[in-house]
Amino acid sequence: MRILVIGSGGREHAITWKLGQSSRLSELHCAPGNAGICEAAKCHSVDTNDPASIAALAESLKADITMIGPEAPLVAGVREAFAVRKLRIVAPSAHAAWLEGSKVFAKEFMKRSGIPTARFVACDSVMEARAALNQFTFPVVVKANGLAAGKGVRIVNDSTDFEVAIQEMMVQRVFGDSGDRIVIEECLVGDEASLMLFTDGRDYKLLPPARDYKRVDDGDRGPNTGGMGSFSTPGLIDERTLSRIQTEIVAPTLASMFAEGHPFEGILYVGLMLTADGPKVIEYNARLGDPETQAVMIRLESDLVEILDAIIEKRVSETRIEWADDSSVCVVAASKGYPGAFDRGKIITGLQEAGSGEAVVFHAGTARDENGNFVTSGGRVLGVTARAGTLAEARARAYEAVGKLSFEGIHYRKDIAETSR
């Protein structure tokens, strides 16, 4: 099969890495890709915000399956663009992707579907937000309504922090139109977990749970990022709680979307808080998470091409998916200054050494300079991922490999998978 992957980050490198192991694969393409992906797949230029351009590329390549990595083309209607050309794609409809595209839509959907989540108020102005604050006690969570690359969330501890957050989002518009509306919600307490699933709209198969680290600095300090690391290990969510999640969250989510005429087909991500009152939804994503994908894909024993084909052909229920009982850890090496302003073009060394042992180095923000050197081109540069029989061993392997990498201003957290939080 000819497979096309859309995206340019560490998630897409992990996806192409796994697809490359399939016996069913004849050609592997990626658009736009990155310097690491381009070593394993043929990379093409494309505007990932333009569904028509993506569909035209897939048609020109005669792609049998296209898989979408990032969220923007999903919300923009890439599935619909493919339907016009009768092309096969793993992606939800634009309406179904609105579970990620609008925090307000997602919260109102959960409320009417009886899905456990934090109490919330949606606000359309600074004045509304200030008035709504009276319904909560600190700390509270402030979220930009639209897409913000995982950075549009603020946990605020007092009225001063709150005012800064709403001014940034609604007045200074640091997230553009995504901050035109905001959600204020109670701050849930517990352990976080990420649960992803393959679904054809009716049936689903779970991926192993993972946990990511959003804050830029050790000890969960500093601003939110797209993710500074993740891990996946057996027992991360106990069987009783996992059963509750499927009964109280996953099944009703899919059933409600189907009943409302917009079945969710593709890959659904459920961000969870495991509270004393039970599991509750923090957010939905309409695609694989990053960097959770890196930690989970390295545990996948089955053929990813077969799984994607099963989603499209609506035979997920009959598809057997096997996962290693091992644990895995992904540590993200980021550019100095991320998630704020950062420099590009810093030469990366140690890639061969880091990837020659027990770890896999997934590229995210990388490019080649005029001399052929790998250089930094993004905030999150590399995701060093290792798998082992125990979480401690996987963590040791990942950090040993990270220690072999170098570029000016390299920054990574030292506490990924250190505790179960």
Question: Which SS3 state, helix, strand or coil, does residue 12 take?
Answer: helix
Q: What is the identity of the amino acid at 299? A: R
Q: What does pTM read for this prediction?
A: 0.96
- Which residues sit opposite 113 in a β-bridge? none
Q: What token pair was written down for 351?
A: 């890639």
Note whether 104 and 93 are within 8 A (CB): no
φ, ψ (nearest 5 deg) of residue 62: 55, 45
What pLDDT, on a 0 to 100 scale, did the predictor assign at position 81? 98
DSSP output for 270-298:
EEEEEETTEEEEEEEESS--TTHHHHHHT
Instruction: Provide the token pair at 128.
Output: 């509304």
List, for the chain, all residue ranges whose pLDDT scores fall below the cut of 50: 420-421
DSSP conformation letters of 36-102: TGGGTSEE----TT-HHHHHHHHHHHT-SEEEE-SSHHHHHTHHHHHHHTT--EE---HHHHHHHH-
Q: Which of 369, 371, 372, 376 is nearest to 405 (CA)?
A: 376
Q: Which pLDDT tens digit goes with each residue over 250-276?
A: 999 999 999 999 999 999 999 999 999
CA distance 40 to 30: 9
- Whether residue 4 contacts residue 63, with contact meaning beta carbons closer than 8 Å, is answered with yes
Contact call for residues 406 and 346 (beta carbons, < 8 A): no
**Close Cβ partners of 177 (under 8 Å, ≥ 6 residues apart):** 146
Whether the CB-CB separation of 171 and 188 falls below 8 Å is answered with: no
Instruction: Give pLDDT, residue 149.
Output: 80
Residues 13, 386: Cα–Cα separation, whole Å: 15
| pLDDT, position 421 | 43
Place of tokens 């005429």: 261
Q: Which residues contact 154 (CB under 8 A, 6 or more apart)?
A: 141, 142, 143, 161, 165, 168, 169, 224
Helix (H) or strand (E) holding 27: strand 27-32
Domains annotated for the chain, with CATH where assigned, are 2-91 (3.40.50.20), 119-186 (3.30.1490.20), 189-318 (3.30.470.20), 327-402 (3.90.600.10)
Residue 328 has a CB neighbour count (10 Å cut-off) of 28
pLDDT digits (tens, 9 = 90+) for 168-203: 999 999 999 999 999 999 999 999 999 999 999 999
Residue-level pLDDT at 150: 78
> 17-33 pLDDT, tens per residue?
999 999 999 999 999 99
Q: Would you state the pLDDT for residue 148? A: 87
Whole-number Å distance between alpha carbons of 350 and 406: 6
H helix intervals, 204-284 = 239-245, 251-259
Q: What pLDDT does 357 receive?
A: 85
CA distance 86 to 96: 19
